[in-house]
Each structure stands twice: as C-alpha cells, then as structure tokens.
Homo-oligomer: A and B are copies of this chain.
Amino acid sequence: MSQGDVQKALETFGQLDQKISHFKELLSLANWDLHTGAPKKGRSLRSKAIGTLSSEVFQLSLSTEMGKCLDTLSDPDIQAQLDEVVRAKVRLYKRHYNKSKQIPPEEYQAYVVLTSQAQDVWIEAKTKKDFSIFRETLKKIVDFNKKFIDYYGYKDHPYDALLDEYEPGLTVQTLDQLFGDLRTKTIDLLERIQSSGNHPRTEIFHQRFDIKQQEAFSLFVLPKLGYDLEAGRLDVSAHPFATGLNTGDVRITTRYMENDMRSAIFGTIHECGHALYEQGVNPEFEGTILCGGTSMGIHESQSRFLENMVGRSFEFWTYFFDDLKRFFPEQFQDVSVEDFGRAVNTVEPSLIRVEADELTYNLHIMIRYEIEKELMAGELEVDDLPAVWNQKMEEYLGITPPDDAQGVLQDVHWSFGGFGYFPSYSLGNLYAAQILHTIRQDMPDFYEKVQNGEFLPIREWLRENIHQYGKLYTPNELIKKVTGEELNAKYLIDYFEEKYSKVYQL
C-alpha cells in the first residue's frame, strides 16, 4: 500500500468520524430536548426526525467508504505507523462495524421497529400490572438477541456477546467471580445491619421541601463539586440523566419531589459525576468518537463515586450541612449532622431497584444478571420470568413483590432490548471503590479535603487519571492504568465494611 493510500484513508476516516460525531451531537441535543422542554404535540414528529438522522449515522458507520478506511488502517504494518489516538478510533469504529455487519440489514430493521414499539407495550403492561401483556413482545426481543449472539459469536458463554456491547471485554466468568464475592459479603453485612437494632432517622426526609429551594440548593452544590455551569445547565426530567453534547456543553437533569429531598440532591450529585467525566475529556478529542466515556461501567463509576463515596460520606455533610440548614431552616432544626449522615446511608431491602440503598442495590443487579444469563443460554424461558423474579427477590432480599409492576416489569431496559446493560450499574460501584482506594493512597487527606469542601483537587485527580482520556483506553486498560490492577470486588467489600461499621455501629 502506498503512503498516498494511507494518507487518503486517514483523511476520509477523519472526515467520516467528524461527520458522525457532529450528527451525534445534534441527536443528543434533540433527545435532551425531548426529555426536558419539548412541547407535547411536537414530540412524535421530532422522533421521526431523530430517526432519520440516526439511520444516517448508522449508514455512515457501516458505509463502503468506512469499510475501506478500516481495512486500510487495520493492516498491521500501517497500525504500527499510527499514533495511539488514531489506533483507538480505528478500534472503536471497527468493533461497531464488524458487529453490525454480522446482522442482515432486514433483521436489524425489524428489530428497530419491534423495540421502538415495545416500550408502549411495556408501559401498558406495567400500568395494568400484567406481565402477560408484555410477554409475547419480550419473547421476540429475546429471540432476536439470541440470534444476534449467534451472529456475533462468543468464546465461553452466549451472554458474553451481549455484555461486550456495554463493557467491552466483560465476560460471564469475570462477573460470576465479582458477583460471587460481593454477594456473600453483602448478605452477611445485611444480616448484621438488620440485627444491629439501629435505625437511622429517615423520617427527616419526609417533610415538605419547597421545590425552588431544592433547585437553588442543587445549583449551590454543583459548582462547588467542580461542575462548570458555563459548560452545562441543570433542568428537570422524569428520569435524571446527564448528556455530553460537547466538552463545553454537558447538561444535567434532576427531579424534585416535594416530600423527599433526597431524590433531587443525590440525583444531582450522581449526574454531576457523569458530567464531570464528559466536561473533562481532552478538548483535542472534540468532534471525534473519543469524546465520551469509555464504557457504561466506567461512566457509572464516576457518578457513583461522587454520589456515594463522596456525597454520602459523613465528611461531605460535615461540610454542607450548615448550608443545607440555611436552605431548609425549619426542616432540620433538631437534626445533627451525624443523624443526617447516618440517615442518607440507611440500608433497607426494598422492591424497586432505582430506589434501593447503596448496599442492597447490587443484589437487585445480580438478580437481573442471573436472569439474563440464563435466558440467553436457553436455561430459562420468558414464560417463567415472573415466578423466577419473585423467587430470587425472596432469596436475595427477603421480600416478594406484590405484583409484576413492582417486580419483573419495573425496569424499562428489556423493552428497548438492553440485555447486558444492568451489570454496568454494579460495575460502576466496583470500579468506584477501587478508584477510591487508589485516590486515598495518592491523597491521604482525601476525606479531610471533602470535609473542607476542597473538591477541585479531587476533580483534578479524576480528570488527570480518568476523564481526559475519553475513550482512548478500553475500560480494562484504564482501570489497570489507574489502580494498577484488574477490577476486583475487594475494595467495594472493604468500603462497605468501613461505611456500615460506622453508620450502624456494627
């Protein structure tokens, strides 16, 4: 191959990358708008416009032109000449190209149609608390995923092919190990907590909290944590999210509940963690595929780190409690910072994943993980899901859902075909604890800093070690680079032990 050919491939590849990235930026904006302030009557039409641009992106990433560039730039001799940045871009596009090319276009199209309609079916089923309404649709989605697994191929376990979508390189073997260790310790801790007889004062959260004041408090906390409000904004949506349009425009949403102030404040801190990641990506990656988080799990580690390791620490509230009382003088008159710090760390088995506490949360994930794994291996049928779900809830958490809406139908994920997605949430916790361990070694006064409100050095550490790289490294490369070892459950287990010993005086 001549140098001219390589040069030309690099140029075309760069142009395609930029076009795709720019289109994706506009798609993210349109989706943000749909979930924040878009007027009701324009939404279904807007979705069509979004669909048109999405297919354009899909077609560009699978175009003949892209295929040729990837061919040229994947040649081992050429690879050796490329810098790390271009190699990473080629890896990412190639991964998507190779996987997507396996699926016959007409099957993919049928799947897109199916999953776009499935959400309404799921909503109806959930509203009517009747799994049977969703059952046949879910079967079709599962069947499609099984076919995709065959197209993609896998080494050890069929489910590996789907896990890889969300966390490149992740396997059942790894997860079984991680979740095995974590489960034993979680259940042990849960028993000790439940028999400790200690009950944090959670009733303090259930008072009337003016929504304007909640918003003002969120906007007070965000910049202190290092979120740049000139490169973002805070809005309201039904489900909080963060979306990075570019590094100068990373938006957060939260939701305000008048009778529980936790929802807004921890939602805001959580999304702030996601947002700091995207605000911190190397500006040179702007307008390329590298501009974003490297995986769902690493992304979630940044939000969980800020929400839980920082935001639920006693030190955090030692710093912020006087401010909180300033915003809500009546509600916390007779509450001490210790009461408050314990109350935000209450552990209590519950039915709904998104409302679960930090400790039992992972049990909810394990239930979903096991179900998905068995479904994809053909060891479990869709018909049996409600019974299996309830049985596992009883086994892991000691409670049985009174109906499917609070059980197997609670999450949206399966309706859009997101099999393999759930484990990322727990991976986030695991990564976060491992990163916490490293940062505390580098910065022994970490929690003193939190207590003094010195959040900027912490953000800088994260930016320096994680955020700036965007998607340059795979999650596995990154966690090794940052912490010096592979992901393991030890650090999360230690963290839980330390936290709950304090909270519940175990």
Contacts and interface: CB of A to CB of B under 8 A. Distances in A.
A38 interface: yes
B49 A22 contact: yes
B23 A52 contact: yes
A249 interface: yes
Given A22-B53, A23-B53, A46 B249 contact: yes
A313 interface: no
A235 to B, nearest CB: 9
B246 A45 contact: yes
A399 interface: no
Which residue among A18, A43, A52, A287 has the maximum number of chain B CB atoms within 10 Å of its CB?
A: A52
Interface stretch (A223-231, A340-348, A494-502): A223-231
Interface stretch (A24-32, A106-114, A302-310, A426-434): A24-32
26 contacts: A18-B52, A22-B52, A23-B49, A25-B45, A25-B49, A26-B29, A26-B49, A26-B53, A29-B30, A29-B46, A37-B233, A38-B249, A39-B230, A39-B248, A40-B230, A41-B249, A42-B245, A42-B246, A42-B247, A42-B250, A43-B248, A43-B249, A45-B247, A45-B248, A46-B245, A46-B246
A39 B232 CA distance: 5
Contacts of A48: 22, 287
A19 interface: yes
B287 A41 contact: no
Contacts of A231: 39-42
Which 7 A-B pairs give the minimum distances between C-beta atoms? A42-B249, A41-B248, A42-B248, A22-B49, A22-B52, A41-B231, A45-B246
A71 interface: no
A233 B40 CA distance: 10
Nearest to A15: B52
Copies in the assembly, this chain: 2
Contacts of A464: none
A286 interface: yes
Contacts of A39: 229-233, 248-249, 251
A37 B37 CA distance: 11
Interface in A56-87: 56
Which residue among A18, A25, A27, A50 has the maximum number of chain B CB atoms within 10 Å of its CB?
A: A25
Nearest to A28: B49
Nearest to A41: B248
A287 B19 contact: no
A383 interface: no
Contacts of A42: 231, 245-250
Interface in A237-258: 245-251
B30 A46 contact: no
A109 to B, nearest CB: 15
A33 interface: yes
Given A52-B18, A52-B19, A25 B46 contact: yes
Contacts of A233: 37, 39
Contacts of A249: 38-39, 41-43, 45-46
Contacts of A45: 25, 246-249, 286-287
A26 B37 CA distance: 15
Contacts of A22: 48-49, 52-53
Interface string A1-35: 00000000000000000110011011101100100
Which residue among A37, A38, A249 has the maximum number of chain B CB atoms within 10 Å of its CB?
A: A249
Nearest to A36: B37
A79 B22 CA distance: 39
Given A37-B233, A48-B287, 4 more contacts: A25-B49, A29-B30, A41-B248, A44-B248
Contacts of A26: 26-27, 29-30, 49-50, 53
